[in-house]
């Protein structure tokens, strides 16, 4: 099947020259948009820049906008896309660096700010696992499957309006630890969560739920987190 691909081109050294390049690429059944990008880079234009690593929906690095929706290029089969022309853009909301690659540093900084690790001074690390009941694990299981692709945060209008907003991915990570029964670090995380760029910026728009390739519902977990913070403070 032969389709036309409109690929966003950008160079932060020449920002005024942003444009789309068009390529016609033949694909076989089962091939993905990432396969198309690899084909373009190998045989049409070696200067095309995009991120990828695992090609199996695990590393999160190939998140981009395909026909207006945030998706993983390696999980998006061309035959799933009905249009004959497919437009590929970088993730919106993040600063573009080159072509489809965006600056993810602020995303990771926010993630680190919510202390994404187990906090429990009464239970120092040992050489054994810290066991958890299956029931307790189920509360956070879905949240632990986040691959940090950034698709949710990039799709969030609250984030577009306030670039300092933590965003759904960092808040989901906070939920994952706050609701881990082995963690007691809520008070340490409160200053980051309970401020004008924190939890309360989430207005339950729910774009993040639609954008998540792992079928996580960040909005729901953020709501649980809001309730927990209110209970803790008031
Ligand atoms: S919650 Fe989903 S969309 Fe957001 S970073 Fe994690 S995997 Fe990506
Ligand atoms: S290349 Fe790893 S998730 Fe797509």
DSSP output for 50-107: ---S-SSSSS-TTEEEETTEEEEGGG-BGGG---SEEEEEPPTTSPEEETTEE--HHH
The CATH classification number of 2-102 equals 3.10.20.30
Binned at pLDDT 50, 70 and 90, residue 74 comes out as very high
> So what's the pLDDT on residue 51?
98
Domain ranges in the chain with CATH number 1.10.1060.10: 105-233
Mean pLDDT of the chain: 96
Name the residue among 100, 83, 97 with its Cα closest to residue 20. Answer: 100
Ligand 2 pocket residue status of 54, Cβ below 6 Å:
yes
Q: Which of 116, 152, 159, 171 to mutate to test the pocket of ligand 1 (most atoms within 8 A of CB)?
A: 152
| 7: pLDDT strictly greater than 90 | yes
Counting ligand 1 atoms within 8 A of each CB, the residue from 169, 208, 211, 219 with the most, and so the one to mutate, is: 169
Residue range 125-137: mean pLDDT, rounded: 91
Distances in whole angstroms, Cα of residue 50 to Cα of each of 57, 73, 91, 178, 227: 15, 10, 11, 34, 39
pLDDT at 29: 96
**CA of 2 relative to ligand 2 center, distance in Å:** 24
Section 205-218 average pLDDT:
97
pLDDT greater than 90 at residue 199: yes
CB contact set of 163 (below 8 Å; sequence gap of 6+): 93, 106
For ligand 2, is residue 214 a contact (CB within 6 Å)?
no
Structure tokens at 116: 């994404």
The band of 129, judged by pLDDT with boundaries at 50, 70 and 90, is: confident
- Residue 198 CA to ligand 1 centre (angstroms): 17
CB of 3 closer than 6 angstroms to any ligand 2 atom: no
User: Which residues have CB under 8 Å from 116's CB, separation 6+?
Assistant: 173, 174, 176, 177
CA pair distance 175, 189, nearest whole angstrom: 11
- Burial (0-12, 13-18, 19+ Cβ within 10 Å), 31: middle
pLDDT in tens, 27-70: 999 999 999 999 999 999 999 999 999 999 999 999 999 999 99
The reported pLDDT for the residue numbered 124 is 81
d(CA 156, CA 91): 11
Could you give the CA distance from residue 232 to residue 234 in angstroms, rounded to a whole number?
6
The stretch 114-143 carries a mean pLDDT of 93
Query: How many Å lie between the centroid of ligand 2 and the Cα of residue 32?
Result: 11
Pocket lining: 116 vs ligand 2, CB cutoff 6 Å:
no
The superfamily in CATH containing domain 105-233 is: Alpha-helical ferredoxin (1.10.1060.10)
pLDDT for position 212: 98
Looking up tokens 């965003």, which residue turns up? 167
Of the bound ligands, which one is closest to the alpha carbon of residue 70? Answer: 1
Q: What percent of the chain has pLDDT over 90?
A: 94
CA 174 to ligand 1 centroid distance, Å:
13
Which of 36, 50, 58 to mutate for ligand 2's pocket (most ligand atoms within 8 Å of CB)? 58
Percent of the chain with pLDDT over 70: 100
Confidence of residue 16 (pLDDT cuts 50, 70, 90): very high
pLDDT, greater one: 11 or 126: 11
Q: What is the mean pLDDT of residues 122-145?
A: 92
Please give the distance, rounded to the nearest whole angstrom, from the Cα atom of residue 189 to the centre of ligand 2.
Answer: 30
The answer, yes or no, to whether residue 210 has pLDDT greater than 90, is yes
Residue with the nearest Cα to atom 3 of ligand 1? 212
Q: Is the pLDDT of residue 126 over 90?
A: no
> How much is the pLDDT for 233?
84
Residue 114 tokens read as 């919510």
Chain region(s) in the chain for CATH 3.10.20.30: 2-102
Span 153-194, pLDDT tens digits: 999 999 999 999 999 999 999 999 999 999 999 999 999 999
């Amino acid at each position: 099947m032969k389709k036309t691909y409109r690929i966003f081109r950008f160079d932060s050294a020449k920002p005024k020259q942003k444009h789309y390049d068009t390529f016609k690429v033949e694909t076989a059944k089962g091939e993905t948009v990432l396969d198309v990008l690899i084909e373009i880079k190998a045989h049409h234009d070696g200067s095309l820049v995009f991120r990828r690593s695992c090609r199996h929906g695990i590393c999160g690095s190939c998140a981009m906008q395909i026909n207006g929706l945030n998706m993983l290029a390696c999980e998006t089969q061309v035959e799933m896309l009905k249009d004959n022309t497919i437009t590929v853009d970088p993730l919106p909301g993040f600063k573009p660096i080159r072509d489809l690659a965006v600056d993810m540093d602020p995303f990771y900084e926010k993630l680190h700010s919510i202390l994404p690790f187990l906090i429990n001074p009464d239970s120092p690390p040992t050489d054994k696992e810290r066991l958890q009941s299956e029931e307790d694990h189920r509360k956070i299981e879905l949240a632990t499957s986040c691959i940090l692709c950034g698709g949710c945060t990039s799709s969030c209008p609250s984030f577009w309006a306030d670039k300092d907003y933590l965003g759904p991915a960092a808040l989901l990570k906070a939920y994952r630890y706050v609701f881990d029964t082995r963690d007691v670090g809520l008070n340490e995380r409160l200053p980051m969560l309970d401020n004008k760029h924190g939890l309360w910026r989430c207005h339950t728009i729910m774009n993040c739920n639609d954008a998540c390739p792992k079928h996580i519902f960040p909005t729901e977990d953020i709501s649980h987190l809001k309730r927990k913070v209110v209970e803790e403070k008031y």
